[in-house]
Amino acid sequence: MNVQKKQKHYYSGKKKRHTVKMQAMIHYKTGQILSTCFAKGRVHDFKLFKISMKFLNFKPFVLADKGYLGLAKIGFTSLLPFKATKRQPLDPYLKHINKEINRRRIKVEHTFGALKRFNILSSPYRNRRSRISLRFNLIAAIFNLELVKR
């Protein structure tokens, strides 16, 4: 198979480059990484979420960002921020609710920031794409171990 055809699946139109998408499920109180999922760069976040949920035995309560708006339709209880439109900005009350939701999500964002301290996640990955899932899972295990030591 042609190299360009192989790379076509990894091309992300949003980022304008070849990427691998990683998704981590994080416990929002402890900050521990519970599960990870990987896909080629052109897969949407929500589709990757649906794929990763097939392997869980339970349906968790989800705190997510605005990219996961269809969670209620597929049967998940979730807390999502409200979206403003171009013609209709958010009311002050809805802005207050969004601020409260984001206060609860901040631990998750701090976990992602801590994972990016490992340079392998914050700079272009130049090794085999097939090994990135193994390396990310090892980094997640090291991170969880450091959380337990504290």
Does the residue 43 lie in any domain?
Answer: yes
Query: For the chain, how big is the Rg over CA atoms in Å?
Result: 17
pLDDT digits 0-9 by tens, 42-72:
788 888 888 888 877 778 888 888 888 888 8
- pLDDT for the residue numbered 95: 94
Residues 99 and 114 sit within 8 Å (Cβ to Cβ): no
Does the residue 126 lie in any domain?
Answer: yes
Does the residue 30 lie in any domain?
Answer: yes
- pLDDT for the residue numbered 3: 57
Phi, psi of 106, rounded to the nearest 5 degrees: -65, -35
DSSP string, 69-82: TTTTTTT--EE---
pTM above 0.75, yes or no: yes
Does the residue 150 lie in any domain?
Answer: no
Decide which of 34 and 6 is more confident. Answer: 34
Token pair belonging to 125: 């990955």
pLDDT digits 0-9 by tens, 62-100:
888 888 888 888 888 888 888 888 899 999 999 999 999
**pLDDT band, very low/low/confident/very high, at 4 (cuts 50, 70, 90):** low
Mean confidence (pLDDT) of the chain: 83
pLDDT digits 0-9 by tens, 17-45:
677 788 888 888 888 988 888 887 778 88
Domain of residue 94: give its range: 3-142
**Alpha-carbon gap, residue 31 to 149, rounded angstroms:** 13
Apex 72 CA angle, 88 and 112, nearest 5: 85
CA distances from 11 to 22, 49, 110, 135 (A): 14, 19, 28, 21
- pLDDT for the residue numbered 127: 78
Does the residue 113 lie in any domain?
Answer: yes
Q: How many domains does the chain have?
A: 1
CA distances from 103 to 98, 107, 110, 132 (A): 9, 8, 11, 31
Does the residue 40 lie in any domain?
Answer: yes
Does the residue 71 lie in any domain?
Answer: yes
Does the residue 149 lie in any domain?
Answer: no
